[in-house]
Structure formats: structure tokens, C-alpha cells
Amino acid sequence: MAKKTVISQLASAGEEALGKLAQNPATHKALQGALGVKDRVEKVVRSVDGMEKRVAAIEKRLAALEKTPAKKATPRPRAKSAAKPTPKP
């Protein structure tokens, strides 16, 4: 029974402390700031998720392009120069 009394006293003290914290304006302001940060982080995570989807689509397109055989470039014929080389004696 003594343990329940100690535990109940701790619980009561914790509830009182939480009640005082909830009534404190500084705590309220800090909590609002934390919630604002949470909202901003969620927006960033959503935008990163969108970027991941776009990158995945680009990677898929790139893989498809890499599978297709590349056309071999034919060398262009060089234009003949007007000046003729001088023969060496």
C-alpha cells in the first residue's frame, strides 16, 4: 500500500506541475512556436516528397533513353582547302 501512496503522490504532483505549466503564458507561447515549427516541417516534407516523385519519373525516363541504341554519328566529309601543300625537295 505504501507504494501506491508514493506513486499517487508523484502522479498528483505531476498533474499539478502540468497544470501550472499550462497556465503559464511563456509556456503557451513556446508551445505555439513549437506547433508552428511542426507545421513548417510538414510542408517541407511534403515538398520533398513531391521532388522525390519527380526525380523518380526523370530516372525512369533516363533509364528508357539509355536502353535505346544511340545513333552513330557519321563523320562529315572535310572541306578541301584551296591552297595546295608545297612539295618538299
CB within 8 A of 28, min separation 6: which ones?
Answer: 22
Read off the pLDDT band of 7 (50, 70, 90).
Answer: confident
Using one digit for the tens of pLDDT, what is the confidence trace for 22-47?
A: 788 888 888 889 999 999 999 999 89
Report if pTM > 0.75: no
pLDDT exceeds cutoff 90 at 12:
no
Residue 76: φ, ψ to 5°: -80, 140
* Average pLDDT of the chain to the nearest whole number: 82
